Amino acid sequence: MSTDYKSYIESGKAVLGIEFGSTRIKAELIGPSNEPIASGSHTWENQLVDNIWTYSLDAIWSGLQDCYSDLLKDVKNKFSCDIKSLGAIGFSAMMHGYMAFDENDNLLVPFRTWRNTITEKASEELTELLNYHIPQRWSIAHFYQAMLNKEEHVSKVKTVLTLAGFINWQLTGQKIIGVGEASGMFPIDINTHDYNDAMVSKFEAKAAELGYPVKLRDVFPQVAVAGEVAGHLTEEGAKKLDVTGNLQAGIPVAPAEGDAGTGMVATNSVRPRTGNVSAGTSVFGMVVLEKELSKVYDAIDLVTTPSGDLVAMAHCNNCTSDLNAWVNIFKEFADLFNMDINMDDLYGNLYRNAMKGDTDCGKLVAYNYFSGEHITGFEEGRPLFVRTPESKFTLANFMRANLYASLSVLKTGLDILFKQEGVKADKIYGHGGLFRTKGVGQNILAAALNTPVSVMETAGEGGAWGMALLAGYMINKKEGQSLADYLQDEVYKGDTGFEVKPDQNDVDGFNVFIERYTKGLAIERAAVDVLR
C-alpha cells in the first residue's frame, strides 16, 4: 500500500531539513520512513567585499524564503496541499565563520565565511596557547584575529554565531547550536559535550591581556547534542521562513548543525571506527575516533559528530577540478571530429579505462593543485602533469595518475591517522561526484586508504536530508536510543551499501605512486615560485 503523503503532510507530521551550502540552499521534506518526499532549492554565491568573502543578511533571508517557497511548490505539485505545520525542523549550514552582534542584535561587520584565509596569526597563536589545532576558518580564530587587529567592533561584541546558529536564533529566539557545529567554533570536551573549560580559561586570560575582558560562554551560543530540543519556531520566525503566513509557530527545532555533521548522518558514519570521504571539487575525509590523538597535528582538524564523539578530519582544497579540465580537453577533441559523445559516457569510459592501467600509473605523476594545499604546505597551486622519458605514457596510465592525484593529499593527511596514530576504521563511506562511475573512484579510495569503502544509494541526498534525519531523531527516538542506533535501525535498516575491499595490488601500486608524488612536490614548489 502506497503512503498517503497528502494526509501525512496535512496532519503536520512531516519533518523538514534545510541546509545553507556554499552555492545552494536546499530544503528536504521527509516522510514516515525518513524517505525524501519533496524538496526545494535556491542558488546563491558569496561576494568578495573589501577582501572579505561574505553573504549579506538580505541574501540569507531572501535565499531561505525562496528555498522554502520552492519546497511549497513541489509539495503543491506532487500532493495538492500546503504545509501548515511540521513534526520538526532542523537547520544546518557551511561550518565555521564569524557573525558578530552588539547588545542591540545588530551585525557589527559583514559575515566572514569559512573561505576567508585572514586569520593565520590567530590560528598559530591559539594552536600554541591551547595545544590544540585551531584552523583559520574556526570562529574563535576570526574572533581572536579581530582582537589582534584591534578592530573597533570587538569591544561592542555581545554575541558570536555561525550561520547555522544565526538562523536558529532568528527563528526560535534561542542561541543554541549542535555540538558538531560548536566544535568548529571552539574546542569541545568530549566528556561534557561542551566547550573545553580549561581552554576557555586560557583564552579568556589571553583576551584580557589584549584588553578584551570577554566571557566566552556569554558570547558564544549554548551547546546541545543530537536529540535535544534547541527551541521552538516563534510567530516571528514562522513569518521569516514562510512568507505566505501559513506556517504555524510552536514547531520543535533541532540543534543547528554544520555540513560536516549532516554529511556524517547522510552516510551513516557517526559510530566510532566509521568514517566518510566527500569527494567533489574539494575533498575531505572524517573518521570517528575511539580516543584522543596522542598529539597535535597541523594537518588534522578535530570536530565532533552531532552526538559529541570526537572526529578527525583531513580537509583538502582540490579534488576533481583538474580531472574535469582534462575530460573537457577530450570533449573538445571529440567535437573537433564531430563525434557526439555525452559527458556521462565520456567520464565513464575514461574512468573505467583508467583501471586497465598499471597500478603505479607507469611512473606518471600528476598534481591537481588549482589552489594551495595546507596539508602539503602550499599556499598556492599550479596543476601539473609530469613524466620521464621512460614512463609508460598511455591513456589508461594518464587517467589513473590523475585519479590518484585527486586523492593524494587526502591520503597524506589520513595516513597520519592510520599509520602514525594507529586509528582503526572498519569502513569508510564515499559520497560525491568522484564515485559516480561504479568501480572506479571507490576502488581507488579503498587502495589509497587500504580500508573497505562503501557507497550508499542515499549518499547523494546530501546535507539537507541529513539535517531532516537529525530533526526526526529528536522527536522519534526511543528511550535511550543513540543516534547511531537510530540511523541503523530506523533509517538505513541494516543497509550497508555496496562495499569494495582494497585490492592488494592496487594498494601496493598507490604506495609506489605516493612515494614518487611526495618526492616530486619540489617540482610543484618550483612551479608555484616561477609560474605567474
Contact 221, 177 (CB under 8 A): yes
- Digit-coded pLDDT (tens) for 160-177: 999 999 999 999 999 999
CA 287/CA 277 separation, integer angstroms: 9
**Confidence (pLDDT) at 322:** 95
Residues recorded for the chain: 532
Fold classified for 1-95+163-168+226-267+461-493? Nucleotidyltransferase; domain 5 (3.30.420)
Burial 199-211, CB ≥16 within 10 A → b, else e: bbebbbebbeeee
**Confidence (pLDDT) at 1:** 42
Query: What's the whole-number average pLDDT of the chain?
Result: 95
CA 262/CA 245 separation, integer angstroms: 29
**Confidence (pLDDT) at 457:** 78
> Which of 156, 216, 157 lies closest to 182, judged by CA?
216
pTM summary value: 0.89
Cα separation of the two ends of the chain: 64
Residue 271, C-beta contacts closer than 8 angstroms, at least 6 positions apart: 288, 484, 488
Contact 301, 311 (CB under 8 A): no
Write the CATH number of the domain with boundaries 96-161+186-219. Answer: 3.30.420.40
Whole-number Cα distances in Å, 163 to 72, 181, 449: 23, 10, 33
**Where do the structural domains in the chain lie, given as residue ranges?**
1-95+163-168+226-267+461-493, 96-161+186-219, 269-455+502-532
Domains 96-161+186-219 and 269-455+502-532 share a fold: yes
> Which of 493, 492, 489 lies closest to 480, judged by CA?
489
Contact 483, 226 (CB under 8 A): yes
> Which of 8, 69, 43 lies closest to 472, judged by CA?
8
CA quadruple 479, 276, 89, 217: dihedral, nearest 10: 80
CA 269/CA 392 separation, integer angstroms: 39
Compute φ and ψ for 20, nearest 5 degrees. Answer: -90, 100
CA 506/CA 28 separation, integer angstroms: 39
- Domain 269-455+502-532 homologous superfamily, CATH: ATPase, nucleotide binding domain (3.30.420.40)
Contact 118, 145 (CB under 8 A): yes
**Confidence (pLDDT) at 404:** 98
Residues of the chain with pLDDT under 50: 1
Q: Which residue has the cell 592496487?
A: 506
- Digit-coded pLDDT (tens) for 403-459: 999 999 999 999 999 999 999 999 899 988 888 898 899 999 999 999 999 998 776
**Confidence (pLDDT) at 317:** 87
